[in-house]
Structure 1
Amino acid sequence: MGGWAIAVHGGAGVDPDLPRERQEEARNLLTRCLNIGISALRSSLPAIDVVELVVRELETDPLFNSGRGSALTEKATVEMEASIMDGPGRRCGAVSGITTVKNPVSLARLVMEKSPHSYLAFSGAEEFAKQQGVETVDNSYFITEDNLGMLKLAKEANSILFDYRIPLESCGAAVENPQLQMNGLPISVYAPETVGCVVVDSQGHCAAATSTGGLMNKMMGRIGDSPLIGAGTYACDLCGVSCTGEGEAIIRGTLARDVAAVMEYKGLGLQEAVDYVIRNRLDGGGKAGLIAVSSKGEVACAFNSVGMFRGCATEDGFMEVGIW
């Protein structure tokens, strides 16, 4: 075993003209989350505890699209989703359609540990949250002024996928000249955001967690890749993976599971597997990225979008935070 390693992400798909101050905000948040994870790993917390801890921090800060600051549905509400997976035994839990739970990733873990199921959604998930006594807030807690402005622009363009970190002044040109598609339909601005964390602890145990508010101006009831085990999240005895990007393409490619599969069946190393999956498993021009760790203490990332908010660290002192 090569010691512990951790990686975090705040979403793939970055506006190339993102203002420098917002870039710095993102770097600072990723650095803070990495340091939280590093401290926990140095204290010998197991991987599953660390991924939950870090994603909770990302959900609480409104900078990225998860928890507070989540993208809004077509009805100007928030429907969040999250999943978590523990490599040993491949235990997992997931939730969708969350409207009041302050930290969806923790509810996903409770589904894993306190229910006979792996996935709960909408009213069933909310009822389970009440039974478990988790912290809840009004749906308005998750809604920011930035996202309300983005939703207005998205509705005017009859489109989806605006993100609040895209400068408002740049959206008009994108609306007039849509160049991208999702599932064959034109979209105006593609900037999906999700948060995630992958960890291998000093025992060689891997875990992964992913959380998101989904797409801006999405249809009510839409479920993306983030809560789908094997698509947005996966962990086993070989690796832990968290994905971000075009959910529909990630689902079709079962992206997270494929990393583990090519490691197991093709004998690829972690970075080779990550690169292979991003290069070969995103059909239809899908844009995505992922972070991964291996049971050997390796860490890797890859993306085919303009950028991906990410950071990683290893026990030997390596630490890096990047966007482009």
Structure 2
Amino acid sequence: MTNPDWTLMIHGGAGAIERSRTSPETEAAVRAALGRALDAGADVLSAGGAALDAVEAAVRVLEDDPHFNAGRGSALTREGTAELDAAIMDGATRRAGAVARVSFTRSPVALARAVMEQSPHVFLAGIGADAFSREIGAEQVDNGWFVIEERRRQLAELLARGADAFDVDMKYGTVGAVARDRSGRLAAATSTGGVTGKRWGRIGDSPVVGAGTWADDRSCAVSCTGAGEFFLRVGTAHEIEARVRLAGTGIAEATAAVLAEVKALGGTGGVIVAGADGTMVWDFTTSGMHRARASAGGERVVAMYGDEG
């Protein structure tokens, strides 16, 4: 669909999201959280605010909700700690900020924006990102604040089986948002805890500009979720944008084609895309994706399963 005014889409991860595997309590909580995040971003846009502010606002709500794999509730490393990744990008200027392996910053997406606006760099990682976070006065929390019991259980089950990352039920995932504001500016943001049992300083696609996150006012803004190693190999977010901008492919067609390429390599996941013309597209190759969208025209959709929205 298209709309001449603002649009907003969010996701809370793609994976084995099915009615038969989701309790009524969990479904209600997830839908409520998606709704709160959607409202946070929509409030910015409906007041004439910038797409960049809207995507940050939406993602920060999801980072604080333990039902998603970002911020509090993140997947745990093999050592049982949380290492957080995020990126944000302004489609008007193509300025971007990203952080990886952050351990103590409450909002990784806010820190990614600070990297973009308060440093000469694009991407900071590990102890350097943590040092920058403290230096600029970003809100700090103990690493244990990010850890919830369900994530401990998932890690324990993985270790008991002698398995490795990706050998765990991918039910909760990365969060992200894309938006177009009233001025036609686009933005994208993504935040994640990665995969259960990750080690050796593993970093996925979410904080990698061009792989899991991209925005360009000339075409579209993209945020991805799924098996990061495969999204990295395809350069998914930029690949979608390039097909739209350079080849003139429709956004829905470009998104489907690139996700098919990811799947052909062995990866699954989902994507949300906001077009410069107001087009909104989501697509996924899993049984479901936590997702929501809103527009100035009054549309408001919150969905989880494959047969919705």
Which TM bucket (shorter chain)?
over 0.9
Within a 5 Å distance, the mapping from 1:158-177 to structure 2 comes to 158-160=162-164
Q: Which runs of 5+ in 2 are unaligned?
A: none
Does the 8 Å CA contact 1:299/1:314 hold for their aligned counterparts? Answer: no
Q: Is the 8 A contact 2:262 2:268 kept in 1?
A: no
What SS does the aligned partner of 1:268 have? coil
> By how many angstroms is 1:21 displaced?
2.2
What residue number does 2:60 align with? 56
- TM-superposed deviation, 1:160: 4.1
Residue of structure 1 equivalent to 2:284: 303
Shift of residue 192, structure 1, vs aligned partner = 5.9
Counterpart-to-counterpart distance in 1, 2:43 and 2:170: 35
Provide the TM-score with structure 2 as the length reference. 0.94
Give the counterpart letter for 1:113 in structure 2. Answer: E
Which whole-Å deviations, capped at 9, do the CAs of 1:46-99 have from their partners, x for residues lacking one? 000111111111111111010011111000001000000000121000000100
Asked if 1:244 corresponds to 2:225, the answer is yes
Letter in 2 for 1:189: D
SS in 2 for 1:159: coil
Which one of 11, 21, 28 corresponds to residue 25 of structure 2?
A: 21
Structure 1: which 5+ runs fail to align? 162-181
* Partners of 1:199 and 1:57 in 2: CA distance: 16
- Verify: 1:66 aligned to 2:70, yes or no: yes
Indicate if the aligned counterparts of 2:70 and 2:175 stay in contact, CA closer than 8 A.
yes
What is the CA-CA distance between 1:188 and the residue it aligns to?
4.9
Instruction: Report the secondary structure of 1:263's partner residue.
Output: helix
Matches within 5 A, 1:96-107: 96-107=100-111
Indicate the larger mover: 8-17 or 235-244. 8-17
Report the equivalent of 2:249: 268
Distance 1:207 1:15 in 2: 27
Give SS of 1:282's match. Answer: helix
Q: Deviations over 1:193-213 (max 9, x none)?
A: 100010100111000000000
C-alpha displacement at 1:274, in angstroms? 1.6
Question: In 2, Cα distance between the equivalents of 1:64 and 1:224?
Answer: 16
**Fraction of identical pairs, as percent:** 41
Tell me what 1:45 maps to.
Answer: 49
Among 283, 288, 293, the alignment partner of 2:274 is 293
Question: After superposition, where does 1:83-94 map in structure 2 within 5 Å?
Answer: 83-94=87-98
- Once residues 145 and 78 of structure 2 are traced to their aligned partners in structure 1, the CA distance between those partners, rounded to angstroms, is 17
1:55–1:211 Cα contact (<8 Å) kept:
yes
Give CA deviations for 1:9-45 in whole Å, capped at 9, x if unaligned.
0001024322232122111111111111111111111
Larger mean CA deviation between 20-29 and 93-102 belongs to: 20-29
**Could you tell me which residue of structure 1 aligns to residue 205 of structure 2?**
225
SS in 1 for 2:42: helix
Residues 108-119 of structure 1 mapped to structure 2, 5 A cutoff:
108-119=112-123
Contact 1:34 1:313 in 2 (8 A): yes
CA separation in 1, counterparts of 2:295 and 2:119? Answer: 34
Give the ranges of 4+ consecutive aligned residues of structure 1 lying more than 6 Å apart after TM superposition: none
* Distance in 2 (alpha carbons) for counterparts of 1:314 and 1:9: 15
Tell me which amino acid in the other structure corresponds to 1:123: I
The number of residues matched between the two structures is 300
> What is the TM-score normalised by the length of structure 1?
0.89
